[in-house]
Amino acid sequence: MDNIEKKIALVTGASRGIGRACAIALGKKGYFVIVNYNSNEEAAVEVKSIIESNGSEADIYKANVSVLDEVKLMFREITKKYGKIDVLVNNAGIVKDEYVLMMTPDTIDKCLDLNIKGYMYCSQQAALKMFSKKKGCIINVSSVSSKLAVAGQSVYSATKGAVNSMTATMAKELAPYGIRVNAVAPGFIATDMVDKLPEEKKSEYLDTIPLKRFGTPEEVGEVVAMLASDEAAYITGQVLVIDGGLSL
C-alpha cells in the first residue's frame, strides 16, 4: 500500500464494471473511497466490503449524478464528513446503442444527461472543494468510441468526444490551482455489457483487436489509480487509450 495520508476518492457509478474496479484499485492504494451508486445499494455495499477486506476504508453514497441538486448535496455531505475530496473519478454513464435513423429523444436525453451533464456537475463541485487546498485530481472515464466509429453509437460517441474535449479544457483552466484533469478511454472491456454479447459477435470484435483479447476492468482501474497518484503529478489534459490496439 502506498504511504499516503488518508486521501479521499469519490468514484461515481462504482457499484459495478469499470467503476467498481476503479474503486477497488484506489482502495488498494490506501485511499478512503466513496462508492457512489444510483440504484443498486447491495452491489455498492459489496464493493465497500471488498475495499475494507483489502485493508482500506470506504463508504457508500446514493446520488443520481445527472441531477445537480443531488450532486451538490453529495459533495457537501462528503466534505462535511471527511473534510475534503482529493480525487474524483467520473464514471457513471449510460451506453444505449441505436442507429441514427431509429434514435429516440429519450436516448439522446439520457446520454447527454449522464455522460456530459453528470461529468460537468461533479467536476464543478469537486473543483470548488479542491480549490482551497490548491491540489486535486479529476479522472474522466471516456471511451475508444470517442476516437473510433462504431455503428449504432453516434450519440454515445458524441458524449465521449465531449468528455475528451472537456478534459483538455478543464485541465487548462484548473492547472493554475494545482488540479489535474485526465481521462481514460477503454475499448472492449470484459464487463456485463460484453459478456451478454452473442459468441459470434464476441469473435467478430476480438478479430479487430491486435492483442486478441478483451481488456479487464481491473486493467482500467490500475491506470486510473496511476493517474491519481503522485507519480503522475506532471500529467494533465491527456486521454489515455486502453484498447489493446483497437484504435491503431
The full DSSP string for 193-205 is: HHHTS-HHHHHHH
| Distances, alpha carbon 113 to alpha carbons 6, 78, 152, 217, in Å | 32, 23, 19, 24
The length of the chain, given as a count of residues: 248
Residue 74: which of 167, 10, 165 has the closest Cα?
Answer: 10
Half-sphere exposure of 63 (CA within 13 A, CB side): 25
Residue 159: which of 118, 212, 105 has the closest Cα?
Answer: 118
Q: Which helix H or strand E contains 80, and what residues bound it?
A: helix 68-82
Catalytic residue ranges? 156
For 145, the grid coordinates are 468510441
